[in-house]
Amino acid sequence: MNDAPESPGPSIDAVPTRYGDTTFRSRLEADWAATLDNYDIQWQYEPETITLDSGALYIPDFWLPELGTWIEVKGPGVPRTEKAKELAQARACRCEVNCVCRWPGGEFLLIGRPSLASDRTEIGHRPRSGYANWETPFGPSTYFVKCPGCTRAQWTTLGRPWRCRTCRASLEKEQLHRPVDRFVRFINSASSVGSLFAMPDLGEPFTAAELGLDEEADDNFFHAGF
């Protein structure tokens, strides 16, 4: 989000936000860091300035050193993703048959979006900050999966080679989750600082209104009161 020439102006998220030892350029970036922490995904914030083939300088927001994955966080006010797209194309795998890249499929780039809101169809507790939302610069067909071998959470596509980006174990299709599956909780960085030994954040219980119990509650009150 630091690629100033692409930014039309400050977005609603562009407030410097501290999380852990890092000051992020936006609240959304800090929330993505907290979300990565929640899934035990190692991350580095803006570790490298990359000169693209076009000559443009680009500093992606996150590098995930165990997954060979970049994350470019994009809020609603900064929709342009040209630099991310160029980097994704430059670092993608070009192996003909068997992939011999350091990372299966080459380096991967994810666009991190603002979270999806919770809805009323979920059972139990809803996450306070909703669900993580992502895509690639080329389309939405990116999946979140936990490797059955090393248990590392990661993002992948259905393109070959379909292997864990860390241990190269084969991934299982039934474990795949899309943002719309509402599986990956998005974490509010402000509520998770110093919570290493705290109870997991289960979110807030559903209200009676959300569970469709409003009328019943009203009836009870009516009978009790009169």
Residues forming the site for Zn ion (CB under 5 A): 93, 95, 99, 101, 147, 149-150, 164, 166-167, 169
Min dist CB 136 to Zn ion, Å, is: 17
- C-beta of 111 vs 164, nearer to Zn ion: 164
Min dist CB 162 to Zn ion, Å, is: 12
DSSP state of 63: E
Contact 187, 130 (CB under 8 A): no
User: What is the torsional sign of CA 72, 75, 76, 77?
Assistant: negative
Min dist CB 12 to Zn ion, Å, is: 37
Peptide bond between residue 47 and the one before it cis (omega within 30 degrees of 0): no
Min dist CB 68 to Zn ion, Å, is: 11
Cα(219)–Cα(226) distance, rounded to whole angstroms?
A: 11
- C-beta of 79 vs 148, nearer to Zn ion: 148
- C-beta of 1 vs 164, nearer to Zn ion: 164
Contact 140, 158 (CB under 8 A): no
- C-beta of 69 vs 166, nearer to Zn ion: 166
204 Cβ contact list (under 8 Å, min separation 6)? 125, 126, 128
